[in-house]
Chain A
Amino acid sequence: SQQGEEDPQALSIQEGENATMNCSYKTSINNLQWYRQNSGRGLVHLILIRSNEREKHSGRLRVTLDTSKKSSSLLITASRAADTASYFCIAGNMLTFGGGTRLMVKP
């Protein structure tokens, strides 16, 4: 089983629109991280939210965490073409994780 599965698997939007991605996990965690990966590149750390936090902002990013539902969401506001990438969540020390959400932002 995988700790952290993203939904949807793919998302295509127009520039300027908001993009919402969701992540679910199975076990108790102390924190959850969101990463971005551009095609063929490494993982870039976006934001970390701790289990005692419900919401966190960083620039155009907004992350929520619901520990009762074991889920998190990542909202990218006013999306740009440069936001096109795959987005992964990593819950705690997740050793395997899902395929991520592939976001495409059309100019």
Chain B
Amino acid sequence: GAVVSQHPSWVICKSGTSVKIECRSLDFQATTMFWYRQFPKQSLMLMATSNEGSKATYEQGVEKDKFLINHASLTLSTLTVTSAHPEDSSFYICSAGTSGGSSTDTQYFGPGTRLTVL
């Protein structure tokens, strides 16, 4: 089956620093990847849709300059949390589909990255 990996699995950083999280589709190409964040005991919240070769589409309320997304290849999307603050501490999960994000696509989720900002 399709596998999506994330790196790192967890990261601790100081306030004010930037953190990059990678999402890779290991055995399939994904023209579209999705980034979510999850607060404790809550559901996943879609942050943005990452499109290969073009700008990401951000959901309402998500700061584009704060959460930089780059989808440089068909197997890699990165999320950079810039100037991280303690309130950015969260669980970040990416997903990728095999059919370009169509309404009937199958989404495969990465294992998530736990970010803790001190």
**Which A residues are CB-close (under 8 A) to B110?**
42
Tell me if B91 is interfacial: C-beta within 8 Å of chain A.
Answer: yes
Please classify the interface of chain A as helix (H, G, I), strand (E, B), loop, or mixed, using the class held by over half of its residues.
Answer: loop
Size class of A's contact patch?
A: 20 to 34
Number of chain B residues close to chain A: CB under 8 A: 26
Nearest chain A CB to B111 CB, angstrom units: 4
Contact yes or no, A93 B42, CB < 8 A:
no
Contact yes or no, A31 B104, CB < 8 A:
yes
**How many residue-residue contacts, CB under 8 A, span A and B?**
60
Contact yes or no, B46 A31, CB < 8 A:
no
B91 closest partner in A (C-beta):
A40
Contact yes or no, B107 A97, CB < 8 A:
no
Tell me if A12 is interfacial: C-beta within 8 Å of chain B.
Answer: no
**Which B residues are CB-close (under 8 A) to A100?**
43
Proximity bits, A27-62, B CB within 8 Å = 1, else 0: 111110101000011110100100000000000000
Tell me if A14 is interfacial: C-beta within 8 Å of chain B.
Answer: no
**Which B residues are CB-close (under 8 A) to A27?**
103
Tell me if B101 is interfacial: C-beta within 8 Å of chain A.
Answer: yes
Tell me if B102 is interfacial: C-beta within 8 Å of chain A.
Answer: yes
Contact yes or no, B104 A45, CB < 8 A:
no
Nearest chain A CB to B32 CB, angstrom units: 9
Given contacts A42-B93, A97-B44, A99-B43, contact A92 B105 (CB under 8 A): yes
Residues in B lying within 8 Å of A, measured CB to CB: 1, 6, 34, 40, 42-46, 49, 91, 93, 97, 101-112, 114
Residues in A lying within 8 Å of B, measured CB to CB: 27-31, 33, 35, 40-43, 45, 48, 88, 90, 92-100
